[in-house]
Amino acid sequence: MNFVEQIAPYAVKYMKSEGILASLSLAQAVLESDKGNSELAVNANNLFGIKAKPPWTGPIYIKRTKEFVNDKWIEVVADFCKFNSLEECFEYRSRVFLKRPHYKPLWGITDYKKAAQIIWQCGYATDPEYPQKLVNKIEELKLYLYDKEVNKVVKIFIDPGHGGTDPGAVGNGLLEKMLTLTISKRIRDMLTRYEDVIVKLSREDDQTLSLKQRTDMANAWGADFLLSIHINATPGGYGYEDFVYPNSSGATFAYQNAIHEEVMKQVDFRDRGKKQGNLHMLRESKMPALLTENGFIDNAADAAKLKQDAYINKIAQGHVNGLVRAFNLKEKAQSVLMWGKTEFKKGQIGRVEILKPINLWTEDAAGKLQMVRILQPGDQYRVYGFRPDHGGQYDVGANHWVTKMDGYIKYETPSKTLLAKVAEVYM
């Protein structure tokens, strides 16, 4: 459990009771305490740099600190609150410290950018860059998702079966532990396209975890649904099946129905049916849970499919479609990425600017070039590919090509920052 996950329940709890945005609380805790590693956090459970001023009457921790005074940083010795626990720190900050009259403009604010600016204007910090630092942390760590817990964010816990010293089933050159991890990560990445859903994996790499550790993690996190991904192995067996615990809730069976049906729409595995089983991951989880067996690793035909990246995508997509159905997830509005004054399109790799009049070509069915028109200086065109034919040509879409000619065109590639955004939006 990382630092944010450890303290998020306190931030959400006091957002619900006191109206202080969870994202703001979490960003401040991360920033002020260096993710729980600062001297104050370690020795005083003080994540926010709260000084020991009235009405505080508890223990005090004395340390040197920096403050921004008269347009410069100075070092001072100050008294800070020493809390018995991190939850006490959150409680005091939310119910006492931020309830002083001059913080009233902050109460009930639902826009984290406004909240970051207001808390600084109210005198919480002296650093003039403090609001932007908070906003950066909120967006970097996606802390705004915790603000929605006042409503309902679906928390899906995905367990890639086996791992580490436990390879799971082995056959036809494949390891179950690696397949389950790949499928689980694909499901998580595909779910980023949907609103109000948070996904947590039991493992992110080839890690050894007991079954108890896995269900304990899901239970402690407060997941709404547990999905355990596996690959089968039994002599003579082949196909897909999934399991729920006997006598599960009606919701659990409804989720099984949705996921089973959607997986079978995507794959051509034999349908082995919707089943029940007394399995640890299903029995010991405190939320609806489903365990899926995605083909037989020791069956040559199933294994051949599992070796295909496109087929792994189909398995993952089937699970995602089922989760979307089960939890009524809504797809996020498509973001528009701009590169200068033009939109950056899916599949685009660069752009060309016309420096001197040059021909725009198309290619007929016989592979011969035909001129479309003459492009003029100052025009810009999106580039989707390049081929060495005809002296080298850029694909500008719709079977149109611009020849690579020095002095006539200028080719540009996007920055690393833009490429990172492209990967997030068009993944």
The closest of 51, 73, 76 to 127, measured between CA atoms, is: 73
Measured over the CA atoms of residue 28, residue 31, residue 34 and residue 39, the dihedral's sign is negative
Q: Are strands 240-244 and 271-276 parallel, antiparallel or unpaired?
A: parallel
Cβ pair 162, 206 in contact under 8 A: no
Residue with tokens 């701009």: 338
The closest of 405, 346, 354 to 378, measured between CA atoms, is: 354
Chain centroid offset of residue 151 CA: 19
Q: How many CB atoms lie within 10 A of CB 366?
A: 5
**Cα–Cα distance measured from residue 225 to residue 289, given in angstroms and rounded to the nearest whole number:** 6
Instruction: Give the CB-side neighbour count of residue 411, counting CA atoms within 13 A.
Output: 17
The closest of 321, 288, 291, 302 to 187, measured between CA atoms, is: 321
The DSSP letter of residue 350 is E
Which of 293, 353, 363, 424 is catalytic? The answer is: 293
**SS3 label, residue 115:** helix
DSSP state string for 142-158:
TTHHHHGGGS--EEEEE
E runs forming strands in 142-204 = 154-160, 170-171, 174-175, 197-201
**Cα–Cα distance measured from residue 193 to residue 321, given in angstroms and rounded to the nearest whole number:** 12
Cβ pair 82, 98 in contact under 8 A: no
**Cα–Cα distance measured from residue 348 to residue 397, given in angstroms and rounded to the nearest whole number:** 9
Measured over the CA atoms of residue 343, residue 349, residue 353 and residue 354, the dihedral's sign is negative
The closest of 260, 232, 231 to 244, measured between CA atoms, is: 260
Is residue 293 annotated as a catalytic residue, yes or no? yes
- Please identify every residue annotated as catalytic: 293
